[in-house]
Structure 1
């Protein structure tokens, strides 16, 4: 099907602008007659024009290479219609598309014309500046031949393409009437540069950000000859109290002499997905080893193909990968979003027609709650280019995608949106007034109803270069996510030396006894972070060779709101006298019968005794101070004995085990709070022999 791209290259602008209307303003040509007194300047301008035309007329056109040469010639002669039109067209293919309007308007003023191409270019420029009604009018005048061939043989825009662009303008009109209540703040000079910065990915707790930048990384940094921009590299920064640290180039082996771009980051910030410009475009994975990222490795043929795989995101449990590919088999058109289980050999699954459209989908991101999906799409009710959408997986299917609205989305491409686990903040790149240069990274703050809105006559939020200068529009609040997730983080250390330990962290569903996921703490810092979506009774087990296991319990109801819990974990080595709390042993109130949710913890204890055949343990029961001391002591004794009985019934010799009930005599927390009493109701073991 012919598209308007062919028309854009169909005729030289000189021929189109020559068909001008009566009463045209004067367009000044680059001739000796016009510039008799500045021949040297004219020669230099003509050289710039020639160089620009070589790039502009190349196949494919190299608009970004042509643009600086055209701008240099335009500085000498700002009143040439053809040159202004070419500059406008180049800007339409740049990262600052909205800048095209000024030049196209000037070209039209200097030499008005009714040709379809000029109307279409003007429609695009007006569209990108959110001048919806004017853009629709230009689009309607750009296809007099109804999508077939024009009289001169050049292909015109198709009726389907025009209808889509007009529909986008109407979507924009409606979305702009109901703007989202947000702050959109520039991330500042620590992150952004005078060059293009984009593709942010953040750890779930917002302590780490990585992003892609096209700034020079060395004094002799190379440029991509196709775009005349520096090659992409990955940069990283950390949050320090009130601002980001200055971004640092990640260096080798992640960054190479070619394009290297951020794609996705695991919630704990220890696995990074990067894009490599090889084999049509592939996705690679790098792991953080202490403080160093290792060499990225390919993700295999179930994900990468000979086609273009452009973005991806981990599920919070690390079992699945959501990724974007334009492979034709199984696709719906353009780039589609797929899901694949990383273990095993099942093929990737297309997310289907609710998410994927006949147009392009891009920049997939899954929230740490495991059910809220963000992605960019040219389809659905986009207001132009790619818009950011949200869909929630519920009742076995994805909900109808919801446009995040104006001013988050604009008529230009809005892509690579990610969010913090709380859903309070989002990050993405945009080209907005007041930026530091090229695309900048912005932080979106989603406002809840508790924040009183400030009235403003403006309907667009802007961000300044450094300090946020934000305006809020009165509108219904927008929630970026349900945020039904708990972030558990802290540091794993040796109990005695206090040195960091690289430990494995297992998440267990206590109801089923099945392992959900396994993570690890950082080898250098000992830091860990796991996301716990609401609706599960989690057993969390921290283990490492040479240490006794450490367990925690988080029983999160389905409606549990977002929370961050910091829990530092000291691992203890196997020594006589060491005491370990068994946080996942459960009894009903006032009873000594082990509940089924205790099975996984009991099996770990059984394995410890099997792997260490000489150790002896005392099982100890404890209660809070509610009730009579004698009753508490009796209950604690029976509970300790219940654990011993389970172990002996599962092959552990009775002479290696003893049971002791201490009632409320050994509290570990005050009994005057609910949390304190909960901590005092515990089962633990003490190593009595090895």
Structure 2
């Protein structure tokens, strides 16, 4: 903020009738302030003040010095020794000063100045009121800080260059991010990297992705089943706008296909920061296209049969007249994080969350994540692991390079829902693939559910309550002990027992069906005890 404030001091200098030597001394003090020699500047200002019999303009030097020392109350006191807070001609200077204080997080002093602006000017009262409301919120938030500690992810991920825009996989074991680093001709470009989490909880050395090119790629998202990548790229030969969204699909050999411009989604404006919903039925992204609520808005494109729909705006509950960015839909499909400089917050971009009860419900009003997660600085690009509490974000505070990726544990009141192993399996598997209910137990040759089965079934119930368009076929399987007819009947009755449990606990019958396969679909050979145990199972497939 120094250059901004010093420039402000220069503007009105010519209005002062003093000797040329006084002007030179004044300029020398300004130079000292710019070079951060604040104590020397203060002493010289005292000398000049006494020599000139209290030259009023020197109060702005005192104010600037106190401002740079974060002594904001004294800075305000000196400022208004020069400017009359009842004179409308001083309005622009007071507004400039109030915004400078606000940018530094000096909320009490900023609010005081904006209230003066309100009294001097009714034309922009709503603007001043917004700043005042933000100041009140910030002061209140800082009086009740949330308990959270951030940790740098270390040298396996962060480097001397800038790392940002993290994205976590649906199982929480792979972290993707963007790195801005020099290429072979010593120019900087953006590429994708990933790091895997080891069994002892350590992020491994980051590796570049095969999808990287000589062009800039940024803001990666990956579908829950790991088969589709979406990302933003700017100024490509086939771009519709300044930045477009591209997709790439995983080939059978696990390589990635050539990126394709998502033409139905992109506009002739700026389109970026895509993120898939965990059920793969929509993609959220950010755009400054026409027809939105404000500047940069969050938009949605629905996905059906691998086809993307024409985008629609997320609406005024989330989008504001200012900017929203970095959307992230948690893997529970019920918790939505994003950044905004339009909702009530603490400064530049703040982080917010919305929730809903099920996937058909509308999002709640945004909740500010609070202090110290948010501050007077710029906070964005938050993603949360499937455990609902481990968050990853970008910051330029202490680290390895320009920007690093950090990790923190979210306070309980702003966490997403922790996912069970069953829920993660559902999210990660494509439709039609069998998902085994690993803890569904029956007595020998019986189709009566053992009470120990209820834990696993409650996980399935919870997922079905949250995702109302989720439908399944329950399958029963046996080993080859016993005759085919007996095994067929047993498998069908066991599948029906699970079906009845779900229906009796509120799941609509149109969303569930069941079938028995007897011993016709073994996972392993039936020539060992271990193989027969695996073959005796109850499972389901997503329709």
TM-score above 0.5? yes
Distance 1:682 1:270, change over 3 A: closer
SS at match of 2:356: strand
Match of 1:137 in 2: 112
Query: Is residue 436 from structure 1 mapped to residue 400 from structure 2 by the alignment?
Result: yes
Bigger fraction of residues in helix: 2
Q: What CA distance in whole angstroms lies between the structure 2 residues aligned with 1:132 and 1:76? A: 26
Measure how far apart 1:198 and its partner are.
1.6
Match of 1:401 in 2: 366
Match of 2:276 in 1: 314
Q: How does 1:516-531 map to 2 (within 5 A)?
A: none
| Contact persistence 2:170–2:424 (CA under 8 A) | no
| Contact persistence 1:263–1:312 (CA under 8 A) | yes
| TM-score, normalised via structure 2 length | 0.65
Measure how far apart 1:276 and its partner are.
1.4
1:367 to 330, 335, 358: 330
Match of 2:127 in 1: 161
Q: What CA distance in whole angstroms lies between the structure 2 residues aligned with 1:217 and 1:260? A: 13
- Over aligned residue pairs, what C-alpha RMSD do you find? 5.0
Q: How does 1:259-278 map to 2 (within 5 A)?
A: 259-278=216-235
Query: Is residue 481 from structure 1 mapped to residue 416 from structure 2 by the alignment?
Result: yes
Match of 2:245 in 1: 283
1:235 to 186, 193, 204: 193
1:297 to 251, 260, 267: 260
**CA deviation profile, 1:440-492 (whole Å, cap 9, x unmatched):** 22112125xxxxxxxxxxxxxxxxxxxxxxxxxxxxx42411225546779xx
| Contact persistence 1:168–1:383 (CA under 8 A) | yes
Measure how far apart 1:352 and its partner are.
2.2
Measure how far apart 1:190 and its partner are.
2.5
Distance 1:484 1:189, change over 3 A: closer
1:123 to 88, 95, 98: 98
Distance 1:162 1:256, change over 3 A: farther
Give unpaired runs (5+ residues) of structure 1.
1-7, 36-69, 82-99, 149-157, 223-229, 448-476, 491-503, 509-517, 520-529, 538-553, 562-578, 606-616, 622-661, 671-675, 685-690
Q: What CA distance in whole angstroms lies between the structure 1 residues aligned with 2:234 and 2:492? A: 53
Q: What CA distance in whole angstroms lies between the structure 1 residues aligned with 2:319 and 2:159? A: 34
Q: What CA distance in whole angstroms lies between the structure 1 residues aligned with 2:110 and 2:17? A: 21
Q: What CA distance in whole angstroms lies between the structure 2 residues aligned with 1:593 and 1:277? A: 50
**CA deviation profile, 1:659-690 (whole Å, cap 9, x unmatched):** xxx9xx996599xxxxx8xx785589xxxxxx
**CA deviation profile, 1:228-287 (whole Å, cap 9, x unmatched):** xx4433332222334323334446x53434x42124233344533222123132112234
Measure how far apart 1:168 and its partner are.
1.4
Match of 1:587 in 2: 493
Give unpaired runs (5+ residues) of structure 2.
43-65, 84-89, 236-240, 441-455, 465-483, 502-508
Match of 2:346 in 1: 383
Distance 1:215 1:618, change over 3 A: closer
Match of 1:452 in 2: none
Measure how far apart 1:146 and its partner are.
1.9
SS at match of 1:169: helix
Q: What CA distance in whole angstroms lies between the structure 2 residues aligned with 1:438 and 1:147? A: 42
SS at match of 1:342: strand
Bigger fraction of residues in strand: 1
Give the aligned length.
433
SS at match of 2:181: coil
Q: What CA distance in whole angstroms lies between the structure 2 residues aligned with 1:381 and 1:268? A: 36
Match of 1:507 in 2: 431
**CA deviation profile, 1:183-217 (whole Å, cap 9, x unmatched):** 21122232223443221111123322222233334
2:386 to 411, 421, 431: 421
